[in-house]
Structure 1
């Protein structure tokens, strides 16, 4: 096991993968050996060369702050000798060459009439309002009584949520938009949009929005308003059978990686995250982007401290402008409630080796790999450009994974140091930052990122990419095996 890992060739700090003791001599890639002058806890940074007071400290190829004192080679770099300064204004512009990851690999997907590709042939039931969600369970029970194997579908996904009524203005519009986004997701081989009748999220409005966005395929999308029929269950079963018949001949076919859209996020990173799971997600992003595919990262508040650095990664002026718009809009949202969007690290973060807000942001951005940003999206807007996209959404795993699914990510891949059973309405891949967690929560974790600590990174990364392509081709995720799906909508307004 490497005791110290340098995450980028331009870094002047390395990350400890285990607790290290002063006076130890530790091998460092490209050096004969580094004698430690202080103890270095796991996950923390150690200077691999002398850093003068006021000089930049570089991690992941990015400036994370300036030294507040002279730092010796082999010395712990933490809150005692590092602070935010002008780091964000001095970020390097990433110009990575991803061509080494290009290939002719394919996955087995479902080509839709619209031209989009799904990695699942699922049946979606989308309620316009939360008060009717209990009825959906009965509908599924009746359908499964006839089709215990889900009929023509891989999964039956209920997009339950508590909204759709007593909402005002932008809050109401946002709920309607995300539900329409979900109804048009390429993973859905059939969709039943189910309404009550008296909610303010009226079915006519949903139909109009969906029709404007992509048109309505009556063979694949049905609409039912409970108050307008005598027996909503009988009507639902007839519609579900029609959807089942329409999907009967759907089949997988080879599809290039350019048709893959992946959401990337993190949940409660631990000290190992930047070296293990986040690093794997970054490699996945590089592979997908190198092959003309699409990746999406979000959690805007966490990224905000490195705003200038992310803007410099924009592929063009238009993308840079959109990135600034996303940050401005989220900043205004926080301002409405008198909260600061950028939060400084505290004792909990210090223990994990995170010293500055910029470092926290750089760690979070690592999951997007090394590509430049091709676009930035307001919440609820569909992906329009291949490559790396920034999506407006808060730093909340439930909302963020749903937001990424809503913009047409066919799967969401999450780096996690604590594990969570939550999944969105698309396959949700959980990558553990350490092997202990992967062993403990086998029913939740799809991939053990902790393998990186004991095996060559390139070998683990190859296995990881193989797993992701297998999942895109039909291999079930742990959330699918357990029947866990969900939808969380970003609520921004008051309840009427």
Structure 2
């Protein structure tokens, strides 16, 4: 791919694919030769024309902020000389390409693929056959962990693992904050990746089992069991008996060939760098399109990392009602920030900046590429489970653990997680780490599942999208990811209210 990339013809910066030495020259597509005025790290930006103070810095064909001083041709463009253009609550206008939206909608479900999954009684399909322990409150986390450790010696048949998903909530919460916790817990209790679930309560918590039952609704009594620790003479012994029943019930479950239209994939990035918007995120966008073309579903979240690129998503909404839902999600999230007295655009993170991302627009324009090109079909509230195929938007924060758990709660059986910095975490469902650069893939091979950095070596998006799609189908059919091999599983609930 060479030493640099000009992403869009109108860009006034290039991305350095390798470290740029002072005095090094590069030949731009318009025939000009630009000389670097200083050392510039890989993944960072260099000006390829003079950028006057207060004028826009353009990358991806969009403004990613404005120059805070005159930037000479060949200078390093980063946090020291650029600032965001973003403001607070905005008004938006729906300006769709209706013809393109209708063409894309006609292609949804036009292709075929399959995987081997576990078909549940409610018709949903799991890609794992785990036994989950879901605490209703953080007070019983240690009991849940002890039960999972002991029950892991009882595995048999086609049961994959016994996993305790500990968290800190379920009590001392109020209003919507408590409601959201109950919704997330009830969603996970009925997730199809679980062959069985033990719901473990304390007994005196706000979200105790009796309170949770209306949220759970109808359930398979053979596959969901309940235990209230305060009512048990020996909660460990009783818990193990219930787990044995769940393992016995799930042990005989068999994978069967299932149409890929049953797949729901979550789209998430974290620890992004200057290569994320060039390699991993657009690659995952192609996967999102492939899933939608097979009649499946993709879910994009982390709303703060849509700021600055939100109009791209808004104008892809299938209709004005979906556009209005997207506007409400974006401005509602900004209002959430301001109610807490926090700046809306306190982003990107130190790791993002070290990797070459400068402003939130820079990050968002790369982040939203994970959504591919298909229309936005649905907008989900936090904790809402999707029942609409195609591309969905989900209201959740950028925090990796909270957002990935929200994707699982909304029905995703797998999360595709792009990263330029690397991370070992997982969420309640298999979490595939896709590296944006080969350096982190080489260094953290125990974390990384797929190398999108091969794009920088000359591999094509078509080649890699086929390879990644095949890996996703293999993962859905039972192939373990790196975090699963390590035994890593996490869960996090988005805390939005006071603690009593």
User: What TM-score, normalized by structure 2, do the two folds share?
Assistant: 0.86
1:112 match: 120
Matches within 5 A, 1:325-404: 325-343=328-346, 352-404=355-407
After superposition, the Cα gap between the structure-2 partners of 1:255 and 1:164, relative to the gap in structure 1 and judged at 3 Å, is same
How far did residue 287 of structure 1 move?
Answer: 1.5
CA contact (8 A) 2:266 2:415 kept: yes
After superposition, the Cα gap between the structure-2 partners of 1:103 and 1:4, relative to the gap in structure 1 and judged at 3 Å, is farther
CA contact (8 A) 2:181 2:493 kept: yes
* 1:200 and 2:206 matched: yes
Give the match's secondary structure for 1:315.
coil
CA contact (8 A) 2:25 2:36 kept: no
How far did residue 402 of structure 1 move?
Answer: 0.8
Give the match's secondary structure for 1:468.
helix
* 1:222 and 2:225 matched: yes
Query: Which of 123, 132, 146 is the equivalent residue of 1:124?
Result: 132
CA distance in 2, matches of 1:62, 1:100: 29
CA contact (8 A) 1:434 1:451 kept: yes
Query: Which of 455, 479, 489 is the equivalent residue of 1:475?
Result: 479
How far did residue 12 of structure 1 move?
Answer: 7.0
CA contact (8 A) 2:278 2:366 kept: no
How far did residue 359 of structure 1 move?
Answer: 2.5
CA distance in 2, matches of 1:4, 1:437: 19
CA contact (8 A) 2:151 2:162 kept: no
Instruction: Give the aligned CA root-mean-square deviation in angstroms.
Output: 3.4
Give the match's secondary structure for 1:414.
strand
* 1:272 and 2:275 matched: yes
Matches within 5 A, 1:9-408: 14-20=14-20, 24-26=25-27, 31=29, 35-38=33-36, 41-45=41-45, 59-60=59-60, 62-64=62-64, 95=100, 103-147=111-155, 150-211=156-217, 215-343=218-346, 352-408=355-411
How far did residue 158 of structure 1 move?
Answer: 1.1
After superposition, the Cα gap between the structure-2 partners of 1:286 and 1:35, relative to the gap in structure 1 and judged at 3 Å, is farther
What are the Cα deviations for residues 243-271 of structure 1, in whole angstroms up to 9, with x where unaligned?
Answer: 22322332112222221111111112122
CA contact (8 A) 1:268 1:418 kept: yes
CA distance in 2, matches of 1:24, 1:248: 63
CA distance in 2, matches of 1:445, 1:170: 36
1:495 match: 499
After superposition, the Cα gap between the structure-2 partners of 1:451 and 1:389, relative to the gap in structure 1 and judged at 3 Å, is same
After superposition, the Cα gap between the structure-2 partners of 1:37 and 1:179, relative to the gap in structure 1 and judged at 3 Å, is same
Choose 325-334 or 427-436, whichever is displaced more: 325-334
Q: What is the number of residues matched between the two proteins? A: 488
1:431 match: 434
After superposition, the Cα gap between the structure-2 partners of 1:53 and 1:441, relative to the gap in structure 1 and judged at 3 Å, is closer
CA distance in 2, matches of 1:75, 1:12: 11
Give the match's secondary structure for 2:309.
helix
User: What TM-score, normalized by structure 1, do the two folds share?
Assistant: 0.87
After superposition, the Cα gap between the structure-2 partners of 1:126 and 1:338, relative to the gap in structure 1 and judged at 3 Å, is same
* 1:461 and 2:465 matched: yes
After superposition, the Cα gap between the structure-2 partners of 1:142 and 1:473, relative to the gap in structure 1 and judged at 3 Å, is same
How far did residue 55 of structure 1 move?
Answer: 8.6
After superposition, the Cα gap between the structure-2 partners of 1:23 and 1:17, relative to the gap in structure 1 and judged at 3 Å, is closer
CA contact (8 A) 2:108 2:292 kept: no
How far did residue 424 of structure 1 move?
Answer: 0.8
Query: Which of 396, 417, 423 is the equivalent residue of 1:414?
Result: 417
How far did residue 414 of structure 1 move?
Answer: 1.1
What are the Cα deviations for residues 369-390 of structure 1, in whole angstroms up to 9, with x where unaligned?
Answer: 2222111111111112112222
After superposition, the Cα gap between the structure-2 partners of 1:415 and 1:161, relative to the gap in structure 1 and judged at 3 Å, is same
CA distance in 2, matches of 1:41, 1:375: 40
After superposition, the Cα gap between the structure-2 partners of 1:367 and 1:257, relative to the gap in structure 1 and judged at 3 Å, is same
How far did residue 469 of structure 1 move?
Answer: 1.6
